Amino acid sequence: AEPSAKVLKSAAEIVLVVLVAAAALPDRSTAHEGDDHGTPAAPVQTPGGTPVKLPSGEVFLPKATQRLLQVRTAPAVVESAKPATELVGTVIADPAHEGRVQAPMDGQIELADGGVSYVGQQVTAGDVLALLAPAMPVYERGTLAQVTADVEGKLRIAEQKLARLTRISGDYIPQREIEDTKTEIESLRQQKRVLEPKNAERLQLQAPVSGIISVATVRAGQVVSARDTLFEIVDPKRLWIEAMGMPGSDDDNPLTEATALDAEGHKIPLTFVGRAPALRHQALPLLFRVDEPHASLGIGSTIKVLVRHGAPVDGIIVPDGAVVRAPNGLPQVWVKVAPERFAPRPVRTAPLDGERVVVTTGLAKGDRVVVGAAELINQVR
């Protein structure tokens, strides 16, 4: 019995050593073929039928999705074009078709036949916008009353004298004395008309040009001072734009084309009128005439002006919508590198005419550039 106990003890120790050793080794056992109980490996993402952004930064876009999003591409062609410089402009009225009505003297506003004119009213040159009753100080009123009374007294005396001379007419009264008296009476009557109370006079404030009233700062009964601006009239079909350019920007390189872009993206052609000879805020004011005014243009509003000048540069012209922003904020375009793969390309651009830009670096001749739905591709995550 004793040898059997020793044998069992030795066998138990061997089993214990085997279990400890097995516990120390990594677990590579499998329940059956193909069933691994170890740490599962990360799944490999393979493109299917859903748009997805790949780890390389490219975008997988199935053909069906491309048709749905109306993705369009165009081959990159190197062309020569004059880039544009972006300026900040302000809409102003054409000086030849802008009018201002100021008070010629102190007075009080009164209603005209059609009432006091208002902002937005269409007027024609010569229309009466309001009436102005001149104001008169108290001391002037006293002086005027005294002079008027004196003239009226002399007039009554002259009329009485003429009546006496007329009754005594004949050889006793010279005809010259009668004529002189009549002349004196006519002169006094004229003085009386001139010296009538000034509050009975009304000055007509007339429109100097035809157009629409843009400013009206008067009300009936309002007291105004001399040189106060009461009305401003502009023609909305005749507008200019004043843009601040860099000194000498059009000396050696004349402006060949200018375009304005409003807040809604409308492209408005401009004609260069001239520039001021003196600097303002370290820049030259450039004046442009709006050839086809848009309803969105309001006098005093700020607008973007693209001016083309300088030497031509070589680049690839693409629509403005083809250039999108990368996650880092820099401009980029999408290039089709495979039937269902699109790769981003960082680029450097220059504005052209408000609808197109010139890509100077980042693209090669023959690249299939996405010119339609680039912003939608840029949103795939």
Of the ranges 43-47, 67-71, 343-347, 374-378, which one carries the lowest mean pLDDT score?
43-47
pLDDT at 298: 85
Tell whether the model's pLDDT for residue 47 goes beyond 80.
Answer: no
pLDDT for the residue numbered 133 = 86
- Whether residue 43 is predicted with pLDDT greater than 60 in this model: the reply is no
**HSE of 157, CA atoms in CB hemisphere, 13 A:** 8
Query: What pLDDT shows up at residue 148?
Result: 80
SS3 label, residue 126: coil
Q: Which of 244-258, 276-290, 352-366 has the lowest mean pLDDT?
A: 244-258
Q: Find the mean pLDDT for residues 160-189.
A: 80
Q: Which pLDDT belongs to residue 334?
A: 96
CA distance 146 to 151: 9
Mean pLDDT check: name the lowest of 28-37, 45-54, 181-190, 215-224.
28-37
Weakest mean pLDDT among 104-108, 252-256, 375-379:
252-256
Lowest-confidence segment of 10-14, 192-196, 227-231 by average pLDDT: 10-14
Segment holding 24, helix H or strand E: helix 2-24
Say yes or no to pLDDT of 26 above 50.
no
Longest dimension (CA), the chain: 196
Cα-flanking dihedrals φ and ψ of residue 123, to 5°?
A: -130, 160
Q: What is the mean pLDDT of residues 316-322?
A: 93
* Mean per-residue pLDDT of the chain: 81
Check residue 264 and report its DSSP letter. Answer: T
The band of 74, judged by pLDDT with boundaries at 50, 70 and 90, is very high
Lowest-confidence region among 8-17, 61-70, 115-124, 362-371: 8-17
pLDDT band at residue 139 using 50, 70 and 90 as cut-offs:
low
Q: What is the pLDDT of residue 10?
A: 55
Q: Does the pTM of the predicted model rise above 0.75?
A: no
Predicted local distance difference test score (pLDDT) of residue 316: 94
**DSSP letter, residue 120:** T
Q: Give the C-alpha separation, 292 to 312, whole Å.
A: 27
pLDDT band at 16 (very low <50, low <70, confident <90, very high): very low
* Residue type at 122 in one-letter notation: Q
Sign of CA dihedral 290, 296, 301, 302: negative
Whether pLDDT at 248 is above 60: no
Span 225-249, average pLDDT:
85
> Could you read off the pLDDT of 78-99 as tens digits, one per residue?
998 888 888 889 999 999 899 9
pLDDT in the model for residue 32: 43
Half-sphere exposure of 322 (CA within 13 A, CB side): 31
State mean pLDDT over 20-46: 43
- Who has greater pLDDT, 48 or 347? 347
| Chain centroid offset of residue 10 CA | 98
More confident residue, 349 or 141: 349
Tokens of 347: 């680029």
> CB of 336 within 8 A of CB of 342?
yes
End-to-end CA separation in angstroms for the chain:
77
Which span out of 57-71, 137-151, 186-200 was modeled with the highest average pLDDT? 57-71
3-state helix, strand, coil in the chain (%, to 5): 25, 35, 40
Cα distance between residue 344 and residue 367, in whole Å: 12
Distance CA 65, CA 71 (A): 9
Residue 141 has pLDDT above 70, yes or no: no
pLDDT at 153: 87
Average pLDDT over residues 100-124: 89
| Closest listed residue to residue 285, CA positions, set 249, 255, 240, 243 | 243
Per-residue tokens: 71? 């993705």
| Better pLDDT: 327 or 200 | 327
How far is residue 308 from each of residues 81, 286, 351, measured CA to CA in Å?
A: 9, 13, 9
Query: DSSP per residue over 299-325, as a string?
Result: TT-EEEEEEE-S--EEEEEEEGGG-EE
Specify the amino acid at residue 202. R
Mention every residue, 6+ apart, whose C-beta is less than 8 A from residue 344. Answer: 57, 58, 326, 332, 333, 334, 335, 378
pLDDT of residue 38: 47
Q: What is the pLDDT of residues 268-285, one digit of tens each?
A: 989 988 887 777 777 788
**From CA 184, how far away is CA 186, in angstroms rounded?**
5
